């Protein structure tokens, strides 16, 4: 039996991030994320939904689109982050909260960090995802092991000009930092 956490709210962004003062607000947005996830199954997609909220207002929603868009990176959180960035016209979602029906996988957690999301709140967790047949927990465990033990070789080749792109970047005074 899966470990389903009813109306529980888990905070996945680390202990330094303060809890919301209003957990009923978290519960409301999480309920929406879960609805999105469940509805997506009925549409033939994966059971994941997410949304980006800032200052109490919804910026964008996302549902898993891996199979329909032939995009293995089209996880609900990534879809929501992309839509939110387009909606606000910025590559930063600083101060926003990412609500997701399931604990973000390493890809989505990284996407949240790159987007400068301020807080992540999730419902189900990696064990629930494993129950559903998904690899989130497996990937987390993989990342915790030495690369020498990975089934996929991750190879570093370092030609003489390996850092040339960074030198070009640093030399470009008009660069847009992110």
Among 65, 75, 119, 126, contact with Zn ion (rule: CB under 5 A): 75
Nearer to Zn ion, 29 or 122 (CB): 122
* 77 is known as an active-site residue: yes
What tokens appear for 51 in the block? 């949304």
Among 30, 84, 93, 105, contact with Zn ion (rule: CB under 5 A): 105
Nearer to Zn ion, 70 or 160 (CB): 70
Q: Is 34 in the site for Zn ion (CB under 5 A)?
A: no
What tokens appear for 121 in the block? 């709140």
Among 9, 31, 107, 130, contact with Zn ion (rule: CB under 5 A): 107
- Stretch near Zn ion under the rule CB under 5 A, chosen from 22-30, 82-90, 103-111, 152-160: 103-111
- Stretch near Zn ion under the rule CB under 5 A, chosen from 27-35, 39-47, 50-58, 73-81: 73-81
**In terms of C-beta distances under 8 Å and separation of at least 24 residues, what long-range contacts does 161-169 make, across chains too?**
none
How far apart, in Å, are the Cα atoms of 39 and each of 34, 67, 171? 8, 15, 49
Count the helices and strands in the chain (H runs, E runs): 7, 5
Q: Is 79 in the site for Zn ion (CB under 5 A)?
A: no
Q: Is 108 in the site for Zn ion (CB under 5 A)?
A: yes
Nearer to Zn ion, 1 or 70 (CB): 70
At closest approach, how far in Å is the CB of 19 from Zn ion? 23
- Secondary structure (3-state) at 128: helix
How far apart, in Å, are the Cα atoms of 1 and each of 13, 93, 122, 131, 132? 27, 37, 20, 8, 11
- Asked if residues 20 and 27 have their Cβ atoms less than 8 Å apart, the reply is no
Residues catalogued as catalytic: 77
Q: Which residues bind Zn ion (CB under 5 A)?
A: 75, 105, 107-108
């Amino acid at each position: 039996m899966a470990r389903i956490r009813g109306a529980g709210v888990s905070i996945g962004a680390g202990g330094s991030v303060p809890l919301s003062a209003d957990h009923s607000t978290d519960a409301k947005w999480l309920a929406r994320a879960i609805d999105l996830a469940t509805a997506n199954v009925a549409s033939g997609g994966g059971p994941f939904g997410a949304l980006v909220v800032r200052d109490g207002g919804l910026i964008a929603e996302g549902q898993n689109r891996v199979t329909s868009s032939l995009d293995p990176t089209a996880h609900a959180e990534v879809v929501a982050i992309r839509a939110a960035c387009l909606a606000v016209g910025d590559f930063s979602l600083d101060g926003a909260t990412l609500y997701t029906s399931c604990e973000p996988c390493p890809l989505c957690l990284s996407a949240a960090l790159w987007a400068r999301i301020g807080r992540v709140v999730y419902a189900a967790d990696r064990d629930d995802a494993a129950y559903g047949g998904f690899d989130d927990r497996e990937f987390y465990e993989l990342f915790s092991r030495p690369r020498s033990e990975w089934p996929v070789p991750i190879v570093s080749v370092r030609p003489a000009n390996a850092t040339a792109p960074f030198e070009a970047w640093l030399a470009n005074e008009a660069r847009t930092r992110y």
